[in-house]
Structure 1
């Protein structure tokens, strides 16, 4: 049968104090209430835990054995309280952060490390599809995610607004232009992220909406690989403007004829938003929105 912990606590306090009256004062309950709780425990198991001698009580052998148990339970309860208190005060624990844009995640990690030095930090990166799955499957506590879906399971705080730009090698004739058209993307070799990335999803959707078909492409699995490929003159890249490296070999060009923008948001499961650890992440995130420049 289920154990009644209220009755066990009543027994423990009386056994420790050696008196129903003293135990009742310590627990801030009436003496009759405490006495009835102990009697209920004895009735439930058909056992005698105390030998009552006037106003004083003495433990029976069974009661003495049970006191050993409740002492251990009390100590474990104290340890549990300390464990939870340290989580509340952020003096322990580990935060698992996911991201599809490490360049935006690093400042957040730096702020968290400074504010909560006792909390362990780990960062998992991947494309938007992978990161979203990590959030939904509890593999990460929160994530920085591009164009987070409208999903009642999620809480999302928009942080950075960005736009997609093309980038070419500085020796490429296209670098002399001030901007590129959508048609330019399909008449030159494109360096594109893999299916599942938000960048690839936006490019595919935009070109399809304009009735354009991709030409020759090279598919890579990271923004760093895309930028390296362009730096090696393998084609034209497309990526978020804020994530473009300062490599002197690369020239960024706005893309006209389409609206290709994305919003980087801090995302977590809605049901976990108010936990102490995740609340600290949102407090550390800069709420200011950065809007993309006009093409």
Structure 2
């Protein structure tokens, strides 16, 4: 039995979404239909392509070999469908967007949603390492990420530049200063994102280079959690400036030892650049100064 387009697309979307239910939702079909397409694909190939578990699906070695081609096929199929529909206004679509910090990703999404209200968006925050892994595994449409690893398979467009600062409550003693030394910061309870983040890597290296050992360090899952911890007086945090919308209860204070400038970029797998929904988002990136 020949492999059908439905089987290939179902396989690609199951891997992208991480589940059969997610693929069914994106494709607008039933879960049983997606499961049947995967079963027929495996029967035709004579090999298992997916391992189904309680936490989702994983690729077998055969599936890994197939996924890149299947993902490119699904993107090409979408481009063909767009051409056949003509060049009318973008009246529907879907984007999966990830980021390693709330801003500037949320500003871009808000602007995009205003311009293209019929495009649905899934947005998730990941630590830097997980975000890069999802990009490399082609499980995302767009990533807004700081200092992405260059790759011949990725299109990278710079958005904004920033440096690390110390986040403190507005009534903290540090908030009255124009800058505060890293040693003074490390003498407080230091709040950092989880391991795997760019922040952990940069701050840990800078501390080591300066021979500084934090008095106490607390690890949080993401910047929104760090922000709440700072407001609750758990400690002070180190994160890129303008990582969140401005808050009158938080103050950013420069740290001289953390002078390096980092670039946050919009990153897209190159084989998806032809999609109108991707082009429209990159158009917003180009128009919005954040």
Q: Is the CA contact (8 Å cut-off) linking 2:161 and 2:263 kept in structure 1?
A: yes
User: What residue ranges of structure 1 are gaps of 5+ in the alignment?
Assistant: 3-79, 291-295
Structure 2 distance, partners of 1:103, 1:204, is 23
**Aligned counterpart, 2:263:** 263
* Cα deviation, residue 262, structure 1: 2.1
Post-superposition offset of 1:134: 1.9
In 2: Cα distance, 1:106 partner to 1:220 partner: 20
Cα distance change, pair 86–111 in 1 and its aligned pair in 2 (3 A): farther
Aligned residues: 213
Mapped contact 1:159–1:287 kept (Cα < 8 A): no
Match of 2:51 in 1: none
Q: TM-score, normalised by structure 2?
A: 0.65
Partner of 2:93: 93
Unaligned runs of 5+ in 2: 3-78
Q: SS of 2:84's equivalent?
A: helix
Residues 98-132 of structure 1 show CA distances to partners (whole Å, capped at 9, x for unaligned) of 11223322232233333333332221222222222
- Deviation at 1:288? 6.8
SS of the aligned residue for 2:212 comes to: coil
Q: CA deviation at 1:240?
A: 1.9
CA displacement at 1:192 relative to structure 2? 0.9
Alignment partners' CA distance in 1, 2:200 and 2:87:
40
TM-aligned CA distance change 1:122 to 1:87, over 3 Å: farther
SS at 1:211 equivalent: coil
CA distance in 2, matches of 1:247, 1:214: 26
Q: TM-score, normalised by structure 1?
A: 0.64
Q: 2:175, 2:251 within 8 Å by CA — same for their partners in 1? A: yes
* C-alpha distance 254-120 of structure 1, shift in aligned 2 (>3 A): same
Look up the match of 1:105.
105
The residue that corresponds to 2:131 in the other structure is: 131
C-alpha distance in 2 between matches for 1:278 and 1:157: 13
User: CA separation in 2, counterparts of 1:189 and 1:203?
Assistant: 14
What is the distance in 1 between the residues matched to 2:250 and 2:80?
Answer: 55
CA RMSD of aligned residues (A): 2.7
Q: Which structure has the larger Rg?
A: 1
Query: What is the deviation of 1:191?
Result: 0.9
Specify the alignment match of 2:186 in structure 1.
186
